[in-house]
């Protein structure tokens, strides 16, 4: 094998990969970042933009087990499922359901809570280095429950948030309507997550981080990576354009597509996708002054630089199918229930959340080789956790121990056979 050209090569330039690249470069490593697409054009492009340090309660919940029939069959459910796909991926589905018991959910909540509490320490140095403070808005985040039953079901989650030090107030209907007068949806109660921030344009944030990475001497190549080959003295990357590159270590940060990189050890892990859609209403960015999550609807309305973004819902249908007209129609219906007739959306989008069945990201050394590092599976909170993931990966790339326990994110937690946990 030819000798290493880089200390670190990173596959994938979403929020996670770009954050890894900038952290590693700021530590002085020579870094090559590769993606078949422009930076920030995967899931990181169209998310709801919340820096959701409060979001320690996973989608997995005992509620899903108890309400499965209505969640799966109601036209008004925020969860959609392609049965043929789900049956082909039964081990992932069963592992996901196994992680819906109260004990597992409490454990996941505490692990995520601890990681989310560290998120700003990974993100803020990147925002500062890239001069991206103008893209950040600090105006809290509101979460609304339309019914007493919905709010009652959230009790365990609220307890989990309190246990993990999340700062929030419970607001009554009148206070919410005074804060956000454009809201027309039924309101029972709401939560105000104090100190929460959001990003006015997630892709612009990633472009700024990427530009900063280049300014600091990082190298960028727009091409896919098909295969990695680890040896004792380095890792060879096989590129879609036929070339190869050799790096001392390699990071797999290709989001929901990470399994497609042969030889990386990601192929064997139970990574799947929770598809999410968004609609943009360009003229309506002023309708709310902060992100408003609608718990019963499974979505956020976020004021963005380009207008109002209605983003969310979960669809289990894999990576191959196009946008779902049903999901898009659902989002439009919900947008109209939230704000009245705001007309037709100007844009729509489908993105692929990378999700492990235990709702925890995979951050650590590949079962295949200590020279291959995994950084994917950040499900609903990858924009929030990209920065801290980058800091951990920079530690591992330098063979340093991170300053907290990361064993819960170890790729080896799934054992040698995938889908088992």
CB of 401 to ligand FAD, least distance (A): 23
Shorter beta-carbon distance to ligand FAD: residue 48 or 115: 48
Tokens of 51: 């820096």
The secondary element (H helix, E strand) that includes residue 108 is helix 102-117
- Is residue 358 within 8 A of residue 99, CB to CB? The reply is yes
CB of 154 to ligand FAD, least distance (A): 18
Q: Which string of x and - marks every residue 32-51 that binds ligand FAD (by CB under 6 A)?
A: --xxxx---xxxx--xxxx-
Q: What is the C-alpha separation between 93 and 151, in angstroms, rounded? A: 27
Binding residues among 284-313 for ligand FAD as defined by CB under 6 A: 311-312
Q: Which value, to the nearest 10 degrees, does the dihedral of the CA atoms of residues 6, 129, 53, 347 take?
A: -90
Decide: is 390 part of the binding site for ligand FAD (CB under 6 A): no
Of residues 5, 7, 27, the one with CA closest to residue 390: 27
Q: What is the C-alpha separation between 51 and 54, in angstroms, rounded? A: 8
Decide: is 252 part of the binding site for ligand FAD (CB under 6 A): no
Find the part of the chain contacting ligand FAD (CB under 6 A) among 31-39, 106-114, 149-157, 172-180: 31-39
Decide: is 12 part of the binding site for ligand FAD (CB under 6 A): yes
Decide: is 257 part of the binding site for ligand FAD (CB under 6 A): yes
Shorter beta-carbon distance to ligand FAD: residue 369 or 384: 384
Q: Pairing mode, if any, of strands 347-355 and 272-281?
A: antiparallel
Tokens of 10: 């990173």
Decide: is 272 part of the binding site for ligand FAD (CB under 6 A): no
Decide: is 80 part of the binding site for ligand FAD (CB under 6 A): no
Decide: is 16 part of the binding site for ligand FAD (CB under 6 A): yes
CB of 30 to ligand FAD, least distance (A): 19
SS3 of 75-93: the string is: CCCCEEECHHHHHHCHHHH
Environment class of 289 (CB within 10 Å of its CB; exposed 0-12, middle 13-18, buried 19+): middle
Mention every residue, 6+ apart, whose C-beta is less than 8 A from residue 324. Answer: 80, 275, 277, 315, 317, 350
Binding residues among 172-231 for ligand FAD as defined by CB under 6 A: 224-225
Shorter beta-carbon distance to ligand FAD: residue 26 or 206: 206
Chain residues binding ligand FAD by CB under 6 A are 11-17, 34-37, 41-44, 47-50, 52, 224-225, 253-255, 257, 260-261, 276, 278, 311-312, 351, 353-354, 376, 378-384
């Amino acid at each position: 094998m030819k000798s290493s050209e880089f200390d670190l090569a990173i596959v994938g330039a979403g929020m996670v990969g770009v954050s890894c690249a900038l952290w590693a470069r700021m530590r002085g490593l020579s870094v090559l970042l590769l993606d078949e697409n422009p930076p920030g054009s995967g899931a990181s492009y169209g998310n709801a933009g919340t820096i959701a340090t409060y979001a320690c309660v996973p989608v997995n919940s005992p509620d899903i087990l108890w309400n499965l029939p209505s969640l799966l069959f109601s036209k008004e459910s925020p969860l959609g499922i392609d049965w043929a796909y789900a049956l082909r991926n039964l081990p992932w589905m069963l592992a996901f359901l196994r992680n819906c018991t109260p004990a597992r959910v409490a454990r996941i909540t505490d692990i995520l809570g601890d990681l989310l509490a560290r998120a700003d320490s990974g993100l803020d140095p990147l925002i500062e280095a890239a001069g991206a403070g103008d893209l950040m808005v600090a105006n809290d985040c509101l979460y609304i429950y339309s019914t007493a039953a919905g709010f009652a079901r959230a009790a365990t989650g609220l307890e989990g948030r309190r246990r993990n030090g999340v700062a929030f107030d419970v607001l009554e209907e009148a206070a919410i309507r005074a804060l956000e007068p454009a809201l027309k949806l039924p309101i029972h109660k709401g939560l105000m997550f104090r100190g929460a921030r959001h990003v006015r344009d997630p892709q612009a944030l990633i472009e700024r981080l990427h530009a900063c990475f280049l300014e600091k001497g990082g190298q960028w190549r727009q091409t896919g990576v098909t295969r990695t080959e680890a040896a004792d003295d380095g890792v060879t990357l096989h590129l879609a354009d036929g070339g190869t590159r050799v790096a001392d270590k390699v990071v797999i940060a290709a989001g929901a597509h990470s399994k497609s990189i042969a030889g990386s050890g990601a192929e064997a892990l139970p990574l799947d996708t929770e598809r999410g859609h968004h609609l943009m209403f360009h003229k309506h960015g002023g309708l709310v002054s902060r992100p408003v999550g609608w718990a019963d609807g499974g979505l956020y309305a976020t004021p963005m630089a380009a207008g109002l973004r209605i983003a969310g819902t979960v669809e289990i249908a894999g990576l191959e199918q196009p946008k779902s007209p049903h999901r898009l129609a659902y989002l439009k219906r919900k947008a109209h229930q939230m704000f009245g007739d705001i007309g037709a959306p100007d844009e729509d989008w489908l993105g692929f959340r990378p999700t492990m069945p235990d709702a925890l990201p995979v951050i650590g050394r590949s079962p295949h080789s200590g020279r291959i590092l995994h950084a994917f599976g950040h499900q609903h909170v990858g924009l929030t956790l990209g920065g801290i993931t980058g800091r951990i990966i920079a530690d591992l790339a330098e063979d340093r121990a991170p300053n907290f326990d990361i064993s819960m994110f170890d790729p080896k937690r799934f054992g040698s056979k995938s889908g088992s946990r």
